Amino acid sequence: MAFPHPLTDDAAELIAARFHLLAEPTRIKLLDRLRTGEATVQELAVLLETTSQNVSKHLGLLAREGVVGRRKRGNFSCYEVIDPGIYDICELVCGSVERRLDRLQQVLSG
């Protein structure tokens, strides 16, 4: 779906919300881990060396925005990415960051 140009106020709000969602390092780390498959809150908390409450809070935001989904597995909830388009954004940003770091490295090495 292409947004009309100029952007409507509603479209701009939706786009800003998506970028805001990715403006938190913990959520980026969660998405990076979920790239390899589903995981429980407890597994993610151990991996990120944080609390289950913190992981749950961030997963809740990602779920409300339709980026991750949850299913029950016994007594645990498993999370997985249901909007793989989120990784397209991450790849674009990672590529840009990598190019910037390369340029800085060249400047520093002289």
Q: Would you say residue 72 lies in a domain?
A: yes
Cβ 79 vs Cβ 70: under 8 Å = yes
Q: Is the pLDDT of residue 54 over 80?
A: yes
Q: Would you say residue 61 lies in a domain?
A: yes
| Half-sphere exposure for 97 (CA within 13 Å, toward CB) | 6
Q: Which residues contact 99 (CB under 8 A, 6 or more apart)?
A: none
Per-residue pLDDT, 1: 59
Q: Would you say residue 91 lies in a domain?
A: no
pLDDT: which is higher, 92 or 2:
92
Q: How confident is the model at residue 3 (pLDDT cuts 50, 70, 90)?
A: low
Q: Would you say residue 98 lies in a domain?
A: no
Q: Rounded distance, CA 96 to CA 81, Å?
A: 23
Per-residue pLDDT, 53: 97
Beta bridge partners of 69: 80
How does pLDDT run across 70-96, given as a tens digit for each residue?
A: 999 888 899 999 999 998 887 887 777
How does pLDDT run across 19-43, given as a tens digit for each residue?
A: 899 999 999 999 999 999 999 999 9
> What's the CATH number where 34 sits?
1.10.10.10
Q: Would you say residue 37 lies in a domain?
A: yes
Q: Would you say residue 1 lies in a domain?
A: no
Q: Is the pLDDT of residue 100 over 90?
A: no
When divided into structural domains, the chain yields a total of 1
| Half-sphere exposure for 50 (CA within 13 Å, toward CB) | 15
Q: Is the pLDDT of residue 63 over 90?
A: yes
Q: Would you say residue 110 lies in a domain?
A: no
Q: Is the pLDDT of residue 62 over 80?
A: yes
Domain boundaries, position 14:
9-83
CA dihedral (77, 54, 21, 17) in degrees, to 10, reads: 90
Report the amino acid identity of residue 44. L
